[in-house]
Chain A
């Protein structure tokens, strides 16, 4: 289905990533955003609030993030596409509800413009330390989709893609951008509506009395209806059967296999190949592969260039989709390359996923960064150089000592010596 021209502000702009995401949400057909202002994500909400009323969409500033995310799920079940926008502390507040969202299979998008953390952290500067939180933040078993854009144009494009994925798989989709990308200004081209492909909600169209809200289709995703359309819905966060009724005795014979959590996990895991999007460059003859995402990818490119100048064969694997994780791809590469180098603006999150999927076949080097800034590309280049020279198989994640880390280590953290 093509986007509605009313929702698409076509043109060529010079704008920052936050603003681009606000435009992207409307173009994707978003009709409701409940949000609460928080740096560095506020501009995205402001943008949507400004343009939405002209397209019949609504922005409401809720009383807090707990309310924002709950309202988004309510609106989702009322039949419209929805999103919320937040950062660090607000994201943490939303965690409980994400489990509900997964459980009641409400399609919705969360834009998280990551900042430095933990706690209030560095509100105006960058971080990539919410990556694991986005995967495991709520209690219980569920799967999500997370995307990591690296430019304002991508924040426009991938906001639309996030909506499409959430409608297709009926699960929370997180846009895990960061302050750098959110506040960076670049040219953004918003194409005409007829060039924007959007995924319509998959509404049920069978006989009313036969509708089962949690009976999956072939691809494990059930069809949806709108609240208020006379389907006598019973939708609960309790473990439920296909009708939606709570399963009272989970050990009851014949009921156990009907627990929905298996399907909540499988609908993403078994469709992972269709969901995952990667950007590969120079992998064919690479000795070392740099695995990166978001702003760290753009920084790593400079490091990769420097390493190549020294004759090192280094490839780049950029995770556009971070969750579900590209297990297969990493495993396949691990059998061919000497090492992975993973620069990320945290003290090790995605690097452990790379280590898990590499199954001890290749060394894994973490280039850490404590946040509030990006890597020095020289650190990445040196880590690559080390990785290609290291002959030993080191059976743990190797933490590269960056300039910043050395400075902190030598300057202050005497205890560690």
Chain B
């Protein structure tokens, strides 16, 4: 089974969160074989909208633990990332970064760094990237941190234990958490043997762990080592708490707060 899903399953176990309470929303097509055995509810929605869909799930039933597995986080999902960070919407976002839209063609994603000899490893070679890429990449943990995320981390798919721990930590966090996972290519959900193991190995060997590193310094470049670790871990009132506090202040007894099953019939 895919290492990220394994880490996710172990992370849930470690966190002690009830499995049936977890709802996974994704905008990338999982194969049912992998997710169905996990015991969680799973929604596969339109590209980039996993966070927004998850927001509805969370506000419809605040008891849910929403996890968004996202491929298009910084493109189609960019605005949702920015605003959910601002609101501190309680949700764990796992951004699977493979640098390319390899499922479609080997086209570069906005997370890919500019070209160089080593950097070629990051790049796709087909589709839109016939001339390689020359645009500046996003630094996902820094973007999330700047928007207000309470927890950010980055690991490669080979950092199994570290990733498991981070997922467990983030699941217990009350607020918007983002974990970036570097994983080679679209086949991450397939049998491990089919994964481009050379590339997976390359990410892992080319990384250095620096926990609590300032997110400004963790940009991925072709020249330097990839910095992994848990970067952000802070406390901030999550959206539903702020909502309840603000409306309670104004409406007093007339207000029926969100939470538990109060809002549900």
Indicate if A touches B (C-beta under 8 A).
yes
Given contacts A66-B52, A232-B39, contact A238 B59 (CB under 8 A): no
Q: Is the CB of A228 within 8 A of B64?
A: yes
Q: Is the CB of B57 within 8 A of A227?
A: yes
Q: Is the CB of B32 within 8 A of A74?
A: no
Docked pose: A53 CA to B64 CA in angstroms = 20
**Which of A78, A232, A233, A246 is close to B61, meaning CB atoms less than 8 Å apart?**
A78
Docked pose: A34 CA to B87 CA in angstroms = 14
Q: Which residues does chain A contribute within 8 Å of B20, judged by CB atoms?
A: 228-230
Q: Is the CB of B52 within 8 A of A67?
A: yes
Q: Which among A32, A78, A233 has the greatest number of chain B C-beta atoms within 10 A?
A: A78
A contacts with B: majority SS: mixed
Given contacts A31-B263, A67-B80, contact A62 B52 (CB under 8 A): yes
Q: How far is the CB of A242 from chain B (nearest CB, A)?
A: 13
Q: Which among B22, B36, B45, B60 has the greatest number of chain A C-beta atoms within 10 A?
A: B60
**Which of B41, B45, B258 is close to A232, meaning CB atoms less than 8 Å apart?**
B41
Q: Which residues does chain B contribute within 8 Å of A235, judged by CB atoms?
A: 41-44
The 8 A CB mask of B46-88 against A (1 = contact, 0 = none) is 1011011111111111011000000000000001101100000
Q: Is the CB of B36 within 8 A of A70?
A: no
Q: Which residues does chain B contribute within 8 Å of A238, judged by CB atoms?
A: 29, 44
Q: Is the CB of A54 within 8 A of B255?
A: yes
Q: Is the CB of B263 within 8 A of A77?
A: no
Docked pose: A200 CA to B265 CA in angstroms = 9
Q: Which residues does chain B contribute within 8 Å of A55, judged by CB atoms?
A: 256
**Which of B53, B255, B264 is close to A80, meaning CB atoms less than 8 Å apart?**
B264
B40 interface residue, CB < 8 Å from A?
Answer: yes
Docked pose: A229 CA to B60 CA in angstroms = 13
CB-based nearest A residue for B29: A238
CB-based nearest A residue for B255: A53
Q: Is the CB of A57 within 8 A of B263?
A: yes
B23 interface residue, CB < 8 Å from A?
Answer: yes
Q: Is the CB of A75 within 8 A of B60?
A: yes
B237 interface residue, CB < 8 Å from A?
Answer: no
A282 interface residue, CB < 8 Å from B?
Answer: no
Given contacts A32-B60, A76-B60, contact A58 B29 (CB under 8 A): no
Docked pose: A79 CA to B43 CA in angstroms = 14
Q: Is the CB of A54 within 8 A of B60?
A: no
A141 interface residue, CB < 8 Å from B?
Answer: no
Q: Is the CB of B29 within 8 A of A228?
A: no
Docked pose: A138 CA to B51 CA in angstroms = 21
Q: How far is the CB of B154 from chain A (nearest CB, A)?
A: 25
CB-based nearest B residue for A225: B41
B247 interface residue, CB < 8 Å from A?
Answer: yes
Q: Is the CB of B29 within 8 A of A54?
A: no
B25 interface residue, CB < 8 Å from A?
Answer: yes
Q: How far is the CB of A67 from chain B (nearest CB, A)?
A: 4
Given contacts A32-B60, A97-B49, A237-B46, contact A58 B54 (CB under 8 A): no
Q: How far is the CB of A342 from chain B (nearest CB, A)?
A: 35
**How many interface residues does B have (CB within 8 Å)?**
48
CB-based nearest B residue for A62: B52
**Which of A56, A64, A104, A227 is close to B262, meaning CB atoms less than 8 Å apart?**
A56
Q: How far is the CB of A139 from chain B (nearest CB, A)?
A: 11
Q: Is the CB of B52 within 8 A of A74?
A: yes
Q: How far is the CB of A48 from chain B (nearest CB, A)?
A: 14
Q: Which among A77, A82, A231, A245 has the greatest number of chain B C-beta atoms within 10 A?
A: A77
CB-based nearest A residue for B42: A234
Q: Which residues does chain B contribute within 8 Å of A78, judged by CB atoms?
A: 56-61, 64
Docked pose: A57 CA to B45 CA in angstroms = 24
A354 interface residue, CB < 8 Å from B?
Answer: no
Q: Which residues does chain A contribute within 8 Å of B54, judged by CB atoms?
A: 74
CB-based nearest B residue for A56: B256
Q: Could you tell me which B residues sit within 8 Å of A by CB distance?
A: 20-23, 25, 29, 31-32, 35-36, 39-46, 48-49, 51-61, 63-64, 79-80, 82-83, 243, 247, 251, 254-256, 258, 262-265
Chosen A-B contacts, 30 in total, with CB atoms closer than 8 Å, are: A32-B56, A34-B55, A34-B56, A53-B251, A53-B254, A54-B251, A54-B255, A57-B263, A60-B59, A63-B79, A66-B48, A67-B55, A67-B83, A68-B52, A71-B53, A74-B56, A74-B57, A77-B43, A77-B57, A78-B64, A100-B46, A228-B20, A228-B22, A228-B63, A230-B20, A233-B43, A234-B36, A236-B29, A236-B42, A238-B29
Known: A60-B59, A78-B58, A79-B61. 19 other contacts (CB 8 A): A29-B265, A34-B55, A53-B247, A54-B254, A54-B256, A56-B256, A63-B79, A67-B51, A67-B52, A67-B83, A74-B54, A74-B57, A74-B60, A80-B61, A80-B263, A227-B23, A227-B61, A228-B22, A245-B32
